[in-house]
């Protein structure tokens, strides 16, 4: 098992390096000078010279600022310097906020983590639960209702659902706050909005997987032995049906991380997603690189955990890996 985990960890290195290369190059190919945008925003280097006050910043000052962020060098040279600093634990300094990227992440990761995990919990509970009920109550009103929910859940964009639930539950009914900056009640609307599409996908997949497993010979044998239906479903069918579902849960976790960017903007939640939108607008290269690299690392770690769970649900996977890996 240890060798299996070590190999999976080593596979993460080229993946993260590839993500970093793509993001690093594409950001510098997109039109827009981050230093010029920072200057046009009205504050540069804390010098007190603002565009509204008519202050003039010399070309020499702008050049020195570009040099401090290594923007005067070629893209390959910038990349090498960035990776070298990254290996030392330095993600660089934000151009917009003039703070270390690690400090920025440390201040805002909690809000995004709460939103992602609560949305994942909603997706798993609603999606897997609806899928199991739909399969067990096949061709009943429960099954049809679950399928309608799944179709609607994947059809509506998350930002549109967010606006609708804010209008209903925050404006009309006044039950929940429209702006989410904390835990508890403030997390209900954004979590439901973000987790709805993932729940719909999991419901459809769980239903399909459960129906396939329930038609297998060993399930019919268990029923022929006189076992209770609850034991057959939970003890024999569910474990095998969950293997493809867990794969999709790992993939959906990455989708929730990406979706948090939009949902945090809708609910004005002060998390990493909102900071990423602001960084993209300002062409804040260090912040964009750091946040996307962090998201890629979390995504690969989640998929590593999915691989490990596989080996416990189906030991044949571990045996096959040890034999042919």
Q: What is the model's pLDDT at position 53? A: 41
- Separation CA 153–CA 272 (nearest Å): 25
Give 248's DSSP letter. H
- Cβ partners under 8 Å of residue 116, min gap 6: 194, 253, 256, 257, 260
Encoded tokens for 175: 């039950």
Encoded tokens for 260: 């948090």
Handedness of CA 164, 167, 170, 175 (dihedral sign): negative
CATH superfamily of the domain spanning 101-324: MetI-like (1.10.3720.10)
- Which pTM was predicted? 0.77
How far, in whole angstroms, is CA 274 from its chain's centroid? Answer: 13
- Cβ partners under 8 Å of residue 94, min gap 6: 100, 101, 104, 279, 284, 286, 287
Encoded tokens for 300: 């690969």
Mean pLDDT of 183-198: 87
Encoded tokens for 267: 């609910």
| Residue percentage of the chain with pLDDT more than 90 | 6
For residue 93, what are the β-bridge partners? 100
Euclidean distance between the first and final Cα of the chain, in Å? 12
- Separation CA 236–CA 74 (nearest Å): 60
Range with the poorest average pLDDT among 133-142, 214-223, 249-258, 313-322 = 313-322
Domain ranges of the chain: 32-87, 101-324
- Separation CA 76–CA 302 (nearest Å): 31
- Separation CA 57–CA 49 (nearest Å): 7
Whether 150 and 200 have beta carbons less than 8 Å apart is answered as yes
Residue reference for tokens 């429209």:
178
Whether 287 and 37 have beta carbons less than 8 Å apart is answered as no
Give the three-state DSSP class for 71: coil
- pLDDT for 5-63, tens place per residue? 777 788 888 888 898 899 888 888 887 778 777 776 655 544 444 444 444 556 777 77
DSSP string computed for 98-116: -SBHHHHHHHHHHHHHHHH
Nearest to 97 by CA among 272, 223, 299, 304: 272
Choose the most confident range, by mean pLDDT, from 61-75, 121-135, 214-228, 310-324. 121-135
Cα–Cα–Cα angle for 93, 94, 96, nearest 5°?
150
Residue with the larger pLDDT of the pair 219 and 87: 87
- pLDDT for 91-135, tens place per residue? 888 888 888 998 988 888 888 888 888 999 999 999 998 988 888
Q: What is the model's pLDDT at position 49? A: 46
Mean pLDDT of 138-147: 87
């Amino acid at each position: 098992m240890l060798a299996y985990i070590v190999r999976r960890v080593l596979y993460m290195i080229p993946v993260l390096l590839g993500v970093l290369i793509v993001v690093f190059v594409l950001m510098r190919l997109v039109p827009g000078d981050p230093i010029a945008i920072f200057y046009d925003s009205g504050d540069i280097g804390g010098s007190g010279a603002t565009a509204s006050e008519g202050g003039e910043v010399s070309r020499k000052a702008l050049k020195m600022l570009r040099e401090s962020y290594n923007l005067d060098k070629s893209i390959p040279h910038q990349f090498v310097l960035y990776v070298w600093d990254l290996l030392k634990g330095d993600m660089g300094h934000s151009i917009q906020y003039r703070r270390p990227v690690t400090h920025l992440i440390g201040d805002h990761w909690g809000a995004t983590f709460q939103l992602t995990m609560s949305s994942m919990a909603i997706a798993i509970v609603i999606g897997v639960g609806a899928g199991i009920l739909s399969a067990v109550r096949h061709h009943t009103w429960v099954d049809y209702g679950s399928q309608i929910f799944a179709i609607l859940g994947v059809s509506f964009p998350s930002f549109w659902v967010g606006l609708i639930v804010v209008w209903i539950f925050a404006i009309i009914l006044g039950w929940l706050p429209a702006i989410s900056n904390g835990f508890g009640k403030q997390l209900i609307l954004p979590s439901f909005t973000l987790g709805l599409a993932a729940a719909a996908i999991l419901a459809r997949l769980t239903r399909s997987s459960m129906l396939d497993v329930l038609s297998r010979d060993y399930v019919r044998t268990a029923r022929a032995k006189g076992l209770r239906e609850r034991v057959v479903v939970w003890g024999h069918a569910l474990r095998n049906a969950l293997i493809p579902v867990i794969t999709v849960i790992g993939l959906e976790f990455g989708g929730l991380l990406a979706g948090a960017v939009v949902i945090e903007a809708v609910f004005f939640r002060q998390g990493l997603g909102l900071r990423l939108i602001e960084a993209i607008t300002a062409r804040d290269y260090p912040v964009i690189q750091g946040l996307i690299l962090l998201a890629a690392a979390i995504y690969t770690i989640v998929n590593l955990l999915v691989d490990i769970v596989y080996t416990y649900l189906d030991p044949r996977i571990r045996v096959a890996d040890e034999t042919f890996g």
